[in-house]
Every structure is written in structure tokens, then in C-alpha cells.
Amino acid sequence: MNVKEIIIRVILAILVGGVIGYERESKNRPAGFKTHILVCLGAAVISMMQIYDIEYTIKLINERSELSNALKADVGRLGAQVISGIGFLGAGTIIHDKGSVKGLTTAASLWTVGCIGLAAGKGYYSLSIISALSVIIILAFLTKFENMFREKCTAVRFQIDYTNKERAINDITHYFQQNNIRIKNIEFFLEDEDTGFGSSLYTVLLPRRAHREEIIMELRKSEGINSVEIL
């Protein structure tokens, strides 16, 4: 592999990672412009190292044929390590916040950028460019399309009085997660240290098909909750 070919592959990896990273950066995601570039470039470097290893192995075998049974070059080993290793970066972009999970799309884009970087490093130019364009279309344009089919939610506030805060929070969070109810905000008020009585205000997003009366009845079944009211 000559220097010109190396430069082309490195530039392609930087461009691919930069374009996808810019889209994530514009939406203020944890992993943005520079992170995507570095992941894509690193994957490309690993691919080129793998090619160098193969070329070097072939050269040694051509020079000394007796080494043909001793020397081996695993074409996919380093690439497989890159794909699995990017997982730790993806995990760092996933955030659990107030009952909802954020960052899954960014984690997926990082993993995909790493795969595209491997393709760029191996010299699969058409595959790299088409894949990058596909990722941009998915990230930038399919959000509106997705929202068209996503069920609209209504914001509702529940005032919940409890005597066992830990039990109440666990039961409330579990129930909301099981019924696809997203917690938007939680406010806790002062508790009575003697009785353990306390109050909280949950602002949640209810799916259109959810019944408020049924939610109140189910939450009241918890031993730690005294009363539930809609404000």
C-alpha cells in the first residue's frame, strides 16, 4: 500500500466520521464531532494495519517458502476487536435520566462509524460512501418520519403521598416503565421525620390509550403509597 492510498483512506475516514459526528453535535449529544472522527479514523488505521500484516506475511512466505505452514494472517481478527471494543464508548453515551433512557441512537452511530471506518481502511470506497450517506439520511431526516407514527403523549401531573419513600419510588418507577409512561419531572416536598409522611409531584407523559383512573387505582395498591391525585 503506497502513501497516496493511505492518505485517501485516512481523509475518507475523517470525512465520514466528521459528517456523522456533526449531525450528532448539532443535537447536543454526548459524543459529537471529534469523537466520531476519532472512532472512524482509529478503525481505518486498524484496517490498514491488518492489510500491512497480511502483505508482510505474504512477503515472508514468498522469500522463504518453508514458513508457509508456520505463518498465518487472520483477516478479520483486528476488525472484530474494533467492533466489540467500541462498545465501551457507546455505553458512555447512554444516560438514564428520570425514568427514560437517552443516547441509544448516538451509541449506535458510534458503532456504525467504526464499521464504516473499517471499510474505508480496507479500501472499500463505494461501500464507505454509500453507508455514510445512509447513516446521515437516517439520523437527519427519519426523525420527522418516525414522529409521524409515534403515538402522541399528554403531560399529566400526579401528586402522590407516601409513608415509605423508597418503596413508593420503586413501585411508581416500575409501574411507569411497565406501561410505557415516561417520567418528565419529579418534585419531592419536605417529609415529616416522625411519621415518615411525604409528598411528591410526578409529571409524566401518558400515551393516548392510557386511562388515568386505572393508573391511580394501580398506584394506590402499593403499600408505601397513601394517596394519588391528578392536579
Taking only the tens place, the pLDDT of each residue in 138-175 is 777 766 665 555 556 678 889 988 888 888 888 888 88
For residues 188 and 201, what is the distance between their CA atoms, to the nearest angstrom?
6
For residues 209 and 14, what is the distance between their CA atoms, to the nearest angstrom?
46
Q: How far apart are the first and last CA of the chain?
A: 69
pLDDT at 185: 85
Q: Give the CATH fold of the 153-230 domain.
A: Alpha-Beta Plaits (3.30.70)
pLDDT at 116: 84
Residue 99's pLDDT band (boundaries 50, 70, 90)? very low
pLDDT at 75: 62
Cell numbers 474505508: residue: 120
Ranges of CATH 3.30.70.260 domains, the chain: 153-230
pLDDT at 94: 63
**Mean pLDDT score, 39-52:** 80
Positive or negative: CA dihedral 24, 30, 32, 35: negative
For residues 144 and 133, what is the distance between their CA atoms, to the nearest angstrom?
18
**Least confident among 10-14, 35-39, 45-49, 65-69:** 65-69
What is the radius of gyration, based on Cα positions, of the chain?
Answer: 26
Query: Looking at the predicted structure, is the pLDDT value of residue 19 above 80?
Result: yes
Q: Average model confidence (pLDDT) for the chain?
A: 77
Query: Looking at the predicted structure, is the pLDDT value of residue 47 above 70?
Result: yes
Residue 197's pLDDT band (boundaries 50, 70, 90)? confident
Which strand (E) or helix (H) includes residue 183?
strand 182-188
Give percent above pLDDT 90 in the chain. 0
**Mean pLDDT score, 96-125:** 74
